[in-house]
Amino acid sequence: MSDPISTGAEWTFELIEKYHAEIENIAEEYGLDTYPNQIELITAEQMLDAYASVGMPIGYSHWSFGKHFIKNEQQYRRGRMGLAYEIVINSNPCIAYLMEENTMMMQALVIAHASYGHNSFFKGNYLFRAWTDAEAIIDYLVFAKRFISECEERYGIDEVENLLDSCHALQNHGVDRYKRPYPVSMREEQERLEEREAYLQSQVNDLWHKTIPQKEAAEEEAKQQNFPEEPQENILYFVEKNAPLLEPWQREVVRIVRKIGQYFYPQRQTQVMNEGWACFWHYHIMNALYDRGKVTDGFMLEFIQSHTNVVSQPDFDSDYFSGINPYALGYAMMTDIKRICTDPEEEDKKWFPDIAGSNWQQTLDFAMRNFKDESFISQFLSPRMIRDFKLFSILDDEERSELEVTSIHNDSGYQYIRQALSNQYNLSMNEPNIQVYNVDVRGDRRLTLRHIPHNNIPLADTSAEVLKHLRRLWGFGVKLETLDAEGEVVNTEECAD
């Protein structure tokens, strides 16, 4: 047993370095594979700044970030909102912000949680590997900021602001769900910019040239009814490539918004796993520190208190309930997987024959790398977990006057609850399914979108505003058709020329 690293609550740079060195050792022994760490000390005010830019260390200027900043600042000053203890950025090196107000324990906790937990998740998880490029993101943000401020100088703040507003309205529908984005560094991006501008414009022109009636071509086109041939789910991408009237710089702005949306896409799909993973590891790392005598009992008590706060799940009828806490669910599932590996019961052997009794570190590592929330839950949510959380499902059908409890935490309900919870994290079920269906290439160039409701869930009335934004990007009329279960158009919203 060695002496504790520190005994007081105050932190210093030397202490942070000592703690970090210990934590790094422990993480290495546990086999966590991370990007190099960059730890930055910031003030509460800077934390508010970071909040406003949704965690991007560098962001282009836009009023909506100002709105968020004002809102957060207001709430913070009135004491309605505590600040997060940390923000971590998926980049290489992985940047983690520590707030100066934190105690020494909290700084150590944040280092374990963010710099080793989240960091290894960013590096390992398949979605982050496929969708984000940690090497290039900072460069890309720098490029984006510069490009947009150049546009503001050249075309005026209002012009750029309006364009960004329209892009933001569609940012969630600017994600390519199936294609792997191509990572490029800032320099390449810059080099390719001009080339792309020219090329895009020529493509677009090409498309519309075809609309000039030519005899042979007309016959050929009659066969092809729709443009695009297949419905496109990535509306922003479609706009970027095909909107007839956009200037090259406008296409580039659309692209920037789209790419940034894409960068954040995996975070939205892995919240439970990401937080669960980070909590699991900070818990293990902090306990390892304690076991090695590096920290005091007081330190440990403080840690356990804040850890418990983070991973607690209030019941549905509690005043504190606000949905399922991803930290609680994720942490409990990670811990449960470890339990299934190290200490399996009969039930676990039946439900999880592959992992019961296996090496827990390898199993967890595998789970972290190859799943997202939806699949992670449908794969690993154990009956034991369902019992511990006392999960139950409620069916809410608009057409019936009462809600129905469809299943609870019993033998016949496990499978059902597992599937239903997994669905709850399926983004495509939570976001309206809206795709680009057709462009009237030979007529008035109107763009038609189709909304296919899931379980009859209607579209919020914001859609009319969004259509106006899309109308601005597209340059011609825009129409949104809603289909019913039989595939018939039941409702049409339009934003005409």
Partner 1 sequence: MAQLIDRRPNAKGKSTVNRQRFLRRYKKQIKKAISEQISERSITDIDGGESVSIPKRDITEPTFRNDQGGVREGIYPGNKEFAPGDKIKRPPGGNGGQGRRASDSGEGEDEFVFDISRDEYLDMLFDDLELPNLQKNQLSKMTKSKSVRAGFTNDGVPTNINIVRSLKSAMSRRVAMGAEPRRRLHQLEDELQALQQEVGGDESRRLELEQEIEQLRKRIKKIPFIDTFDLRFNNFVQRPVPTSQAVMFCLMDVSGSMDQETKDIAKRFYILLYLFLTRSYRDVDVVYIRHHTQAKEVDEEEFFYSRETGGTIVSSALELTRDIVAQRYPPTDWNIYAAQASDGDNWNDDSPLCEQILAKQLLPQLRYYAYVEITRRDHQGLWAHYENLLQAHDNFAMQHIREHDDIYPVFREFFRKQTQ
Task: Please report, as residue ranges, which positions from 44 to 63 form the binding site for partner 1 (by CB under 8 A).
Answer: 45-46, 48-49, 52-53, 61-63
- Residue 199 interacts with partner 1 (CB under 8 A): yes or no: no
**Of 408, 441, 452, 483, which lies in the binding site for partner 1, with binding defined by CB under 8 A?**
408
Nearest in space to 95 (alpha carbons), one of 144, 126, 58, 140: 58
**Of 338, 459, 472, 494, which lies in the binding site for partner 1, with binding defined by CB under 8 A?**
459
- For residues 343 and 397, which CB has a smaller minimum distance to partner 1 in the complex? 397
- Residue 486 interacts with partner 1 (CB under 8 A): yes or no: no
For residues 182 and 68, what is the distance between their CA atoms, to the nearest angstrom? 31
- For residues 74 and 342, which CB has a smaller minimum distance to partner 1 in the complex? 74
Q: Long-range contact list for 148-154, CB < 8 A, 24+ apart?
A: 148/60, 148/61, 148/253, 148/256, 149/60, 149/61, 151/249, 151/253, 152/61, 154/249
Nearest in space to 368 (alpha carbons), one of 68, 182, 178, 121: 121
- For residues 297 and 315, which CB has a smaller minimum distance to partner 1 in the complex? 315
| Contact indicator for 295, 396 with CB cutoff of 8 Å | no
| Contact indicator for 27, 111 with CB cutoff of 8 Å | no
Q: How far is the CB of 185 from partner 1 (least distance, A)?
A: 21
Interface segment toward partner 1; rule CB under 8 A; list 168-176, 208-216, 244-252, 482-490: 168-176
- Residue 273 interacts with partner 1 (CB under 8 A): yes or no: no
**Of 407, 435, 438, 482, which lies in the binding site for partner 1, with binding defined by CB under 8 A?**
407
- For residues 288 and 420, which CB has a smaller minimum distance to partner 1 in the complex? 420
**Of 306, 424, 472, 493, which lies in the binding site for partner 1, with binding defined by CB under 8 A?**
424
**Of 135, 159, 161, 247, which lies in the binding site for partner 1, with binding defined by CB under 8 A?**
161
- Residue 265 interacts with partner 1 (CB under 8 A): yes or no: no
Interface segment toward partner 1; rule CB under 8 A; list 65-73, 191-199, 206-214, 486-494: 65-73
Tokens at 37, concatenated: 């760490």
- For residues 221 and 494, which CB has a smaller minimum distance to partner 1 in the complex? 494
> Over 410-448, what HEC string results?
CCCCHHHHHHHHHHHCCHHHHCCCEEEEEECCCCCCCEE
| Contact indicator for 86, 39 with CB cutoff of 8 Å | no
**Of 127, 273, 310, 421, which lies in the binding site for partner 1, with binding defined by CB under 8 A?**
421
For residues 474 and 163, what is the distance between their CA atoms, to the nearest angstrom? 11
- Residue 226 interacts with partner 1 (CB under 8 A): yes or no: no
| Contact indicator for 321, 389 with CB cutoff of 8 Å | no
- For residues 61 and 375, which CB has a smaller minimum distance to partner 1 in the complex? 61
Q: How far is the CB of 66 from partner 1 (least distance, A)?
A: 3
Sites for partner 1 among residues 366-405 (CB under 8 A): 389-398, 401-405
Q: How far is the CB of 32 from partner 1 (least distance, A)?
A: 13
| Contact indicator for 38, 20 with CB cutoff of 8 Å | no
| Contact indicator for 96, 38 with CB cutoff of 8 Å | yes
Nearest in space to 226 (alpha carbons), one of 444, 451, 448, 491: 448
Q: In whole angstroms, how far apart are CA 492 and each of 233, 442, 450?
A: 19, 21, 9
For residues 167 and 314, what is the distance between their CA atoms, to the nearest angstrom? 37
- Residue 39 interacts with partner 1 (CB under 8 A): yes or no: yes
**Of 64, 205, 359, 428, which lies in the binding site for partner 1, with binding defined by CB under 8 A?**
64
Interface segment toward partner 1; rule CB under 8 A; list 134-142, 209-217, 280-288, 449-457: 449-457
For residues 4 and 441, what is the distance between their CA atoms, to the nearest angstrom? 73
Residue partners of 355: CB distance under 8 A and separation at least 6: 337, 340, 341, 363
Q: How far is the CB of 405 from partner 1 (least distance, A)?
A: 4
For residues 141 and 57, what is the distance between their CA atoms, to the nearest angstrom? 8
**Of 168, 210, 292, 472, which lies in the binding site for partner 1, with binding defined by CB under 8 A?**
168
- Residue 269 interacts with partner 1 (CB under 8 A): yes or no: no
- Residue 490 interacts with partner 1 (CB under 8 A): yes or no: no
With CB under 8 A, what is the number of residues at the site for partner 1? 103
- For residues 4 and 314, which CB has a smaller minimum distance to partner 1 in the complex? 314
- Residue 193 interacts with partner 1 (CB under 8 A): yes or no: no
- For residues 65 and 126, which CB has a smaller minimum distance to partner 1 in the complex? 65
**Of 409, 446, 471, 479, which lies in the binding site for partner 1, with binding defined by CB under 8 A?**
409
Nearest in space to 123 (alpha carbons), one of 131, 115, 134, 113: 134
**Of 93, 181, 183, 228, which lies in the binding site for partner 1, with binding defined by CB under 8 A?**
93
| Contact indicator for 481, 451 with CB cutoff of 8 Å | yes
- Residue 412 interacts with partner 1 (CB under 8 A): yes or no: yes
- For residues 211 and 424, which CB has a smaller minimum distance to partner 1 in the complex? 424
Nearest in space to 149 (alpha carbons), one of 241, 240, 256: 256
Sites for partner 1 among residues 314-353 (CB under 8 A): 314-318, 321-324
Q: How far is the CB of 424 from partner 1 (least distance, A)?
A: 6
Q: How far is the CB of 415 from partner 1 (least distance, A)?
A: 13
Q: What are phi and psi of 273, to 5 degrees?
A: -65, -45
Residue 121 one-letter amino acid: F
Residue 368, number of CB atoms within 10 A of its CB = 25
